[in-house]
Amino acid sequence: MFTLPLDILLIFTAVSPVVGWAAPKLYRSKIAGAFSAIALSATGIALYSLYQDVSTNGAIYVTGNSLIAGYLKVDMLSIFMVSIFLGLGLAATIYSMEYVENSARSPIYYTLLLTMISGMVGIVFSGDLFTLFVFWELMSVSTYALVAFFREKWESVEASLKYLILGAAGSATALLGISLLYGLAGTLSFEGLATAFTATTNPWLYIASIFIFVGFGVKAAIVPLHTWLPDAHSSAPSTISALLSGIVIGTGIFVIARAFFSAFTSIQQQWLPIIAVLSFLTMFLGNITALLQTDLKRMLAYSSIAQVGYMLVGIAVGTQTGLTGTFLQFFNHALMKGAAFLCAGAIIYRLGARELKDMVGVGRKMPITVVVFSISLLALIGLPPFNGFISELTLVTSTFQTNLAWLGFGLILSSVISAGYYLRIILTMIQIPVSEKIEKVKETPLLMLIPIVALAVLIVFFGIYPDPLVKFAQHAVTAFPSLGGAS
């Protein structure tokens, strides 16, 4: 079968509806939630033994019966990505045990959540574009249903419809690009594509690269293709917003990095400037539009678009340092934005309102939640004792090493602009409350508080002691063999 972590996760996913059906009705949602948490923990334990194996033996290949069919390729980068998927997934599952408790359909929620995470694990484990596309669709189908989970709200359904149309069109465009690559090379595995195109610049290669970039860029929310993101991330349930913003966006960046640095390395000089321009646009459009928002979750959704712009800076630079910065930024952003969305969800859950002006002074009543929220927002700006600083510093350093210094200055300027609305959120919450609706608000329930505090502890820990994380990311980026530039 597949490698052990993916096996365990898929088996638990297949069994989870049965658990949800067979549990006694009183504890049904708690038992289903506990089962999902056990599934993710078991996968994490299996992942650790796989990590030992890969770090001593190099990449693991799970192939079919002949030399050309390579379906799974597990290397250090895959393990890096899966560790954050499982970590944030576990935090979201524990949070959901309180958040979706009232819904009678909660067992199917946990099934879809496990399916989404298995799809993502499959994407980073896959060794050729065929398997990657199948797992990409697995992830996408479960996210379409999860955004529309609270189906009595009109905004969730409308956001899900818009997301579905754009996402499925993106997948079909990517499929057309994959077919052109197949026609040119006869194989779809990443090594096969890298060896087939080593020194050729055929015009059809440009056309295939455009289709693949547009197709996978829809899910990664790169600027002209980002219009689904503010609606979907602000109208989804808060745990799903945290997972979508944190990790699903990152799989789009991962696939673009994998495809572009293995199949399209021969035409690298042409597409690197284009990605640099798009990353500049994405950063500024995300941050400037977020300044104009009044809804809290919509503001966080636009800031996710800006952070994707930061991740693209590393890809546009194209060196080892740049890609280390990209994947570090992805890891840190998953922690920071996950914590921010979970805190925002806790505040909205207790308060019932979503506009920022209704939340004046809520920090006096929910102190732990607002402290964690402030930590995650300060980390998102990129201030020094938190982990956002390390990854943004790596990205800016990598742009100064090549001739893309304007992009580094753009990143710094964009972080300064983003401080405008992050600080506004913090200041709103720590003022003195003026309305009596705020007076009746209690602290977040315990099951929702534990994952929030755990994420905050990780943000502070990786900010003060970033060494193991940076070494892990540098080891992970050696999976791209054709990069230049020292780290």
Task: Compute the least distance from the CB of residue 16 to other proteins, in Å.
Answer: 9
Task: Compute the least distance from the CB of residue 13 to other proteins, in Å.
Answer: 7
Q: Is 127 in the site for other proteins (CB under 8 A)?
A: no
Selected from 42, 60, 196, 460, the binder of other proteins by CB under 8 A is 196
CA dist 187 and 201 (Å) reads 18
Q: Is 138 in the site for other proteins (CB under 8 A)?
A: yes
Nearer to other proteins, 172 or 464 (CB): 172
Question: Which run of H or of E encompasses 423?
Answer: helix 405-429
Nearer to other proteins, 55 or 179 (CB): 179
CA dist 204 and 210 (Å) reads 10
Give strand pairing partners of 484: 319
Q: Is 485 in the site for other proteins (CB under 8 A)?
A: no
Nearer to other proteins, 182 or 461 (CB): 182
Task: Compute the least distance from the CB of residue 484 to other proteins, in Å.
Answer: 23
Q: Is 184 in the site for other proteins (CB under 8 A)?
A: yes
Selected from 83, 103, 397, 401, the binder of other proteins by CB under 8 A is 103
Nearer to other proteins, 183 or 384 (CB): 183
**Segment 277 to 296, residues that bind other proteins, using CB under 8 A:** 292-293
Question: Binding string, 429-468, against other proteins, x = CB under 8 A?
Answer: ----------------------------------------
Q: Is 155 in the site for other proteins (CB under 8 A)?
A: yes
Q: Is 186 in the site for other proteins (CB under 8 A)?
A: yes
Q: Is 105 in the site for other proteins (CB under 8 A)?
A: yes
HSE at residue 258, side-chain half, CA atoms within 13 A, is: 25
Identify residue 336 by its one-letter amino acid code: M
Selected from 93, 171, 287, 307, the binder of other proteins by CB under 8 A is 171
Nearer to other proteins, 125 or 261 (CB): 125
Q: Is 423 in the site for other proteins (CB under 8 A)?
A: no
Nearer to other proteins, 18 or 413 (CB): 18
- How many residues does this entry show for the chain? 487
Q: Is 159 in the site for other proteins (CB under 8 A)?
A: yes
CA dist 59 and 54 (Å) reads 6
Nearer to other proteins, 183 or 385 (CB): 183
Selected from 51, 135, 260, 327, the binder of other proteins by CB under 8 A is 135
Per DSSP (E only), the strands in 295-356 are none
Give the Å distances, CA to CA, from 268 to 11, 362, 458, 466, 483.
41, 50, 36, 31, 11
* CB within 8 Å of 149: residues ≥ 6 apart: 100, 105, 109, 112, 156, 236, 237, 240
* CB within 8 Å of 417: residues ≥ 6 apart: 284, 287, 288, 291
Nearer to other proteins, 69 or 426 (CB): 69
Selected from 233, 258, 297, 298, the binder of other proteins by CB under 8 A is 298
Judged by CB under 8 A, which stretch of 37-45, 166-174, 248-256, 372-380 contacts other proteins? 166-174
Task: Compute the least distance from the CB of residue 386 to other proteins, in Å.
Answer: 30
Please check whether residue 93 is in contact with residue 107, taking contact to mean a CB–CB distance below 8 angstroms: no
Convert 456-471 to b/e letters by CB count within 10 Å (16 or more is b).
bebbeebbeebeebbe
Look at residues 62, 92, 67, 93 and name the one whose alpha carbon lies nearest to residue 78: 62
Burial grade of 1 (CB within 10 A; 0-12, 13-18, 19 or more): exposed
Q: How many residues bind other proteins (CB under 8 A)?
A: 87
Q: Is 115 in the site for other proteins (CB under 8 A)?
A: yes
Residue carrying the six token digits 């944190």? 246
Please report, for the chain, how many H helices and E strands are present, in that order.
20, 2
Selected from 93, 187, 402, 418, the binder of other proteins by CB under 8 A is 187
Task: Compute the least distance from the CB of residue 186 to other proteins, in Å.
Answer: 3
HSE at residue 321, side-chain half, CA atoms within 13 A, is: 16
Q: How many CB atoms lie within 10 A of CB 482?
A: 12
**Segment 20 to 79, residues that bind other proteins, using CB under 8 A:** 62, 64-69, 71-72
